[in-house]
Structure 1
Amino acid sequence: MTTQNSTSAFTLSRRALLLNGAVAATLAAVSRPAMATGHPPFAADAIRPFRVEVPEVELIDLGRRLAATRWPDPETVGDRSQGVQVKKLQALVRYWETGYDWRKAEAKLNALQQFQTNIDGLDIHFIHVRSRHANALPLIMTHGWPGSIFELLKTIGPLTDPTAHGGTAEDAFHLVLPSIPGFGFSEKPKGSGWNPARIAGAWDVLMKRLGYTHYVSQGGDWGAIISDAMGRQAPTGLLGIHVNRIERSSTLPPDVAKALKSGSPAPAELTAEERAVFDEAREFLSKGFGYAAIMGTRPQTIGYGLADSPVGLAAWFYDKIADWVFTRGEPERSLSRDEILDNITLYWLTNTGPSSARIYWENAAGNNKLAGISIPAAVTIFPGEIYKPPKSWAARAYHNLIYYKRVDKGGHFAAWEEPDLFSAELRAAFRPLRPL
C-alpha cells in the first residue's frame, strides 16, 4: 500500500470513528431524560419515585472513548510522586472497557427506594430506607468528593437492620442518603450560592418533608462539612451529628495554625501526638492539596477535561482515592475495581465531574469564619484519615463532644472501606441521643 493510500485509509477510519461517536452522542442527548421517571405536573414539594435507566448508547459512547484514549508518556520516577502511574491506570481502564458492567451497578441502585424532590429550586435525589424496627432513629447521611451515594450503600443493611448484623433492634436507623447538588442524580445548580450552609438547610427541609420531627446527621468529607453546618444552624429536631472527618481550620490551636501558615517549625510545647498531627498537616498542605486549590479557584477550567475524557476523569478521581484509603497508594486493597468504577462511571454518565468540583469554589467564596458547634457531636477518627486531631483539639470546634474514639482500621472513605466498623461506631455514637 502506498503512503497516500495509507493516509487516506487512516483518514476514512478516523472520520468513521468520529461520525459514529457523533451519532452516539446525539442519540444519548436525545435519550438522556430516560434516566429519571417521567415529569408530569407535580406539587413543588412532591416526593417523586426515581429509577436509573441509562440509555445503552451512552455506554457504547463510553466504550468508544475509552478505546480511543491517547495516553501520556509514563512518569519519570518510580513512585506516585508525579501522580497516577500509567500502568496502574491502564490496567483499570482496560478492565473498565472490557470487563466492567454498569448494569450491575444500576440494578444495585434500582433495588433501593430512590426519589427526587424539589428543594429551593433544585431536584434533589435521595435513597430512603425505613427500618422494620419500631423506634428507629432517623439519620441523614451525606457522601463526599470524589465519592457518591455508592460509598454509603454497604452500610444500609447494618444501620437499618442491626439485628441481622450483630446489633440490637434498639440501634436501628431510618436512613436517608441524598446526593449533594451537582453530584450524581441530583440537579446541577445553574447559579452560584449552593455552599455547604445552603445544602445543610435543604437537608433539614428534606427530613421534615419526609415526616421526621427529630433526626441525626452524619458525614465524611463534604458530608462532614455539611453536617457541621447543620450543627451550627441547629434546626429544631436535629438531635446531634457524627463526623469521621474534622475541619482543620476550626480545631487548630492559634499558634499551630500560625506555624502551618507561615512555614515555621512546630511549636515546642506540642506533645508527640500533636507533633505527628502537625507534620501530617504540613505534608498534606505542601504536597496533597493541589487538587482542592485547582477546584477552589478554577473548577470550570478543570471541568472541560473531566467532561470530555473518561480517562481524564478516572485519573483525577483515582489519584485521590489512592491517596486517602487506608492502604495508601493501593486502593484495590481497600475497595474492589467494580466499586471504584461504579463511582467513577456514575460521575461520567451524569457529567457531574465539573459540577461537583464547584462545591470547592462555593466553599472558598463563602464565609469561612467557622463558629463552634454547641449541639451534641460525635467523632470517630479512622487511622487512614488525612487529619487526625487529638480530642482536645476536636473539642475546640465541638463544644458538646459526647463521643470521641480512635479506631484501628479504615481510611477517609470509612463507610466504603469498613462498613461494619463504621456502622458500629454510629450505633455507639448516637445511642445517648435516642429518645426514651
Structure 2
Amino acid sequence: MPAIRPFTLNIAQPHLDDLKTRIAQTRWPERECVDDWSQGAPLEAVKDLAQYWRKDYDWRRCEARLNALGQFVTEIDGLDIHFLHVRSPHPDAVPLIITHGWPGSVIEFMGVIDQLADPVRFGGRAQDAFHVVAPSLPGFGFSGKPVKKGWGVEQIARAWGQLMARLGYSRWLAQGGDWGSVVTTSIAAQRITGCVGIHLNMPTARPTEHDLAHPTASDLKALTALKHYQDWDSGYSTQQRTRPQTIGYSLVDSPVGLAAWIFEKMWAWTDNQGSPYDALSRDQILDNLMLYWLPGTGASSARLYWESFGSFAPQEVALPVAVSAFPKEILPTPRKWAERNFKRLVHWGTMEKGGHFAAWEQPDAFVSELRTAFALMR
C-alpha cells in the first residue's frame, strides 16, 4: 500500500518575488463602461486587490496555518492526493471527509476544522467531535495534476474511499458543496465502503413537468435562479467544460487574470450587499487564490468541468442524506425536488444567511448544521 507522507509547505522566496513582479507588470484593460459588476470584475476593484496582493499580503501566514493543521500526501491510482488531516482529541470522534469545489480549495474550511475536531474547546460537546479529512481535488491545490482522462467525479469518489480506508477509518461520513457536493453524492450513490451518510450544501435535483406547469414559490425561485445562471453566470463553466486548455494559459501565466476570473465569483456567489468583502476578507480571497497560483492549477482544475460536467445530473441515494439550504446559493433546490432522489432525507436546514461558499462565509452556522445533521447518522 502506498505510504501516507507528511507534506510541509515552504514556498521558495523567488516564487513569491516573481508573483509580485508579474502583478507590477500587468497590462491593464480599460475601465468597464458601467458602474457595477454586470460586465465582470470592475477595473478598480481588481486593481485594489492586486495592489494589496503585491504590497501587503502575507503568504507565510497562510503557509504556517496549513502546516500547523497537518498536511499529507498519498498516491492513489497513480496520482498524489494532498489532504489535511486533523484528528480529534476525543476518542469517540467520527471520521468526516469534506470536499471543496471550484473556485475554492481547502482554504474554505479554515474556519471550521478546529470547531469540528475539538468542539469542547469552543463550548461544544465531545460527542459532536469529528476526525476531519479535507483533500484537495485532483488538479487542485497541491494534489497531483492528472495527465490522462479518467479523473472524473466517480473516480474521485472511489479515491476518497481508498483514502479513508488507508487512514484506518472503516465507518465515516462525507460532506460537500459545489463539486464537493457532486463527489459526496457520488460516494453515496456508489455505496463506497465505509460511508454511512452524507451532508450537502448544494444538492442537485430537477423539476418534474408538473413543477414546471404549476410552480410553487420555491419552484419559481429555483427556476429563476437557473435561468439567471444560464443567461448571465455560466460563461466560465462553458469555457472550462469545452476548452479548459485554452483558458489555462491565461490562468497559469497571469496572476491578475487568475484573480479576476475567480474574484468575480466571490462577488456573484456570496451573500453580500454589493461587495465580496461583505462576506470574505482580502486575505481569505488571496489565500484561496494562492492555492491556484503557486501550483499553477488554472488548466488542471478547469479540466474537471471537461471530465464531469454531466455528473451534476441528479442521482438516487439510499444512504441517509442531510441538506443545509443557504439563501444565496447560486442554484437553490426545493426540498420536494431533493426528496425524489434522496429516499432517506433525515435533515433539511433552512439557513438565514450565507451563499455558495457555506463553510467559508458562515462557519458557525455550518458547524452547527453538521453537528445536528450527523447526530442523526452517528
* TM-score exceeds 0.5: yes
1:81 to 30, 38, 41: 38
Shift of 1:372: 0.7
CA shift for structure 1 position 329: 4.1
In the other structure, the counterpart of 1:110 is: 67
Please report how far the alpha carbon of residue 348 of structure 1 lies from its aligned counterpart in structure 2 after TM superposition.
0.5
Shift of 1:353: 1.1
- Structure 1 counterpart SS, 2:220: helix
The answer to whether structure 1 residue 300 and structure 2 residue 261 are counterparts is: no
Matched, 1:225 2:225: no
Amino acid at match of 1:83: G
Of residues 234, 239, 243, the one that matches 2:191 is 234
- Identity, in percent, stands at 49
Q: Any residues of structure 2 matched to 1:367-382 within 5 Å, and which?
A: 370-382=314-326
Q: Is the 8 A contact 1:192 1:362 kept in 2?
A: yes
Deviation at 1:432, TM superposition (A): 1.3
Residue 340 in structure 1 maps to residue 285 in structure 2 = yes
Of 255, 277, 281, which aligns to 2:226?
A: 281
Take 1:194 and 1:375, find their aligned partners in 2: how far apart are those partners? 24
Letter in 1 for 2:24: A
Q: Measured at CA, do residues 368 and 180 of structure 1 come closer, stay the same or move farther in structure 2, by a change above 3 Å?
A: closer
Q: 2:312 and 2:271 mapped to 1: Cα distance? A: 29
Matched residue type, 1:411: G
* Pair 1:199 & 2:199 matched: no
The aligned residue for residue 6 of structure 2 is 49
Q: Deviations over 1:103-142 (max 9, x none)?
A: 1111111111111100011010111111111210100001
Residue 255 of structure 1: how far off its partner (Å): 5.4
Q: What's the CA shift for 1:251?
A: 3.1
d(CA) in 1 for partners of 2:274 and 2:236?
16
Q: Which digits, 9 at most, give the CA deviation of each residue in 1:145-193, with x for residues without a partner?
A: 1000111111111101111223211110000010001001100001111
Using the TM superposition, name which of 175-184 and 161-170 deviates more: 161-170
SS of residue paired to 1:157: helix
1:420 maps to which residue? 364
Q: What is the letter of the counterpart of residue 253 of structure 1?
A: T
**2:206 alignment counterpart:** 251
Structure 1 position 370, deviation (Å): 4.4
Cα distance, 1:405 vs structure 2: 1.3
Q: Secondary structure at the match of 1:92?
A: helix
Hey, what does 1:142 align to over in structure 2?
99
1:360 pairs with 2:305: yes
Q: Distance in 2 between matches of 1:386 and 1:126?
A: 27
Partner of 1:170: 127
Q: Pick closer, same or farther for the CA change 1:327–1:251 going to 2, 3 Å.
A: same
Tell me, what secondary structure is at the counterpart of 2:2? Answer: coil
Which SS does the other structure have where 1:357 is aligned? helix
Alpha-carbon separation, structure 2, partners of 1:409 and 1:144: 20
Q: What is the alpha-carbon distance in structure 2 between the residues aligned to residue 241 and residue 254 of structure 1?
A: 28
1:312 aligns with 2:269: no
2:276 counterpart of 1:331: yes
Give, in whole Å, the separation in 1 of the partners of 2:141 and 2:67: 14
Q: CA 1:275/1:370 → structure 2, altered by over 3 Å: closer, same or farther?
A: closer
Secondary structure of the residue aligned to 1:58 is helix
- Aligned residues: CA RMSD: 1.3
Contact map agreement 1:251 1:397 (CA 8 A) in 2:
no
Q: Which of 146, 158, 170 is the equivalent residue of 1:189?
A: 146
Assess if the C-alpha contact under 8 Å between 2:128 and 2:375 holds in 1: yes
> Partners in 2 of 1:105 and 1:400 — Cα distance?
39
Secondary structure, counterpart of 2:145 in structure 1: coil
Q: Which runs of 5+ in 1 are unaligned?
A: 1-43, 257-266
1:367 deviates by 6.5
Instruction: Please state whether the residue corresponding to 1:275 is helix, strand or coil.
Output: helix
Q: Matches of 1:202 and 1:146 in 2, distance apart?
A: 21
Q: How many residues align?
A: 378
Alpha-carbon distance, 1:328 to partner: 5.6
Larger deviation, residues 216-225 vs 395-404: 395-404
RCO comparison, higher one (Cα < 8 Å, 6+): 2
Per-residue deviation, 1:237: 1.6
Is 1:64 aligned to residue 18 of structure 2?
A: no
Contact 2:259–2:289 (8 Å) recurs in 1: yes
Alignment partners' CA distance in 2, 1:320 and 1:139: 27
Asked whether the equivalents of residues 130 and 174 of structure 1 are also in contact (C-alpha less than 8 Å), the reply is yes
Contact 2:185 2:315 in 1 (8 A): no
Distance between the aligned counterparts of 2:213 and 2:155, measured in 1?
Answer: 40
Structure number with bigger Rg: 1
Q: Secondary structure at the match of 2:103?
A: coil
Cα distance in 2 for residues equivalent to 1:298 and 1:47: 34
- CA 1:124/1:328 → structure 2, altered by over 3 Å: closer, same or farther? farther
Amino acid at match of 1:239: V
One-letter code aligned to 1:392: K
Q: Could you say which residue in structure 2 is the equivalent of 1:132? A: 89
Say which SS state the counterpart of residue 318 (structure 2) adopts: coil
Matched residues in 1 for 2:83 and 2:298: separation? 19
Contact map agreement 1:322 1:328 (CA 8 A) in 2: no
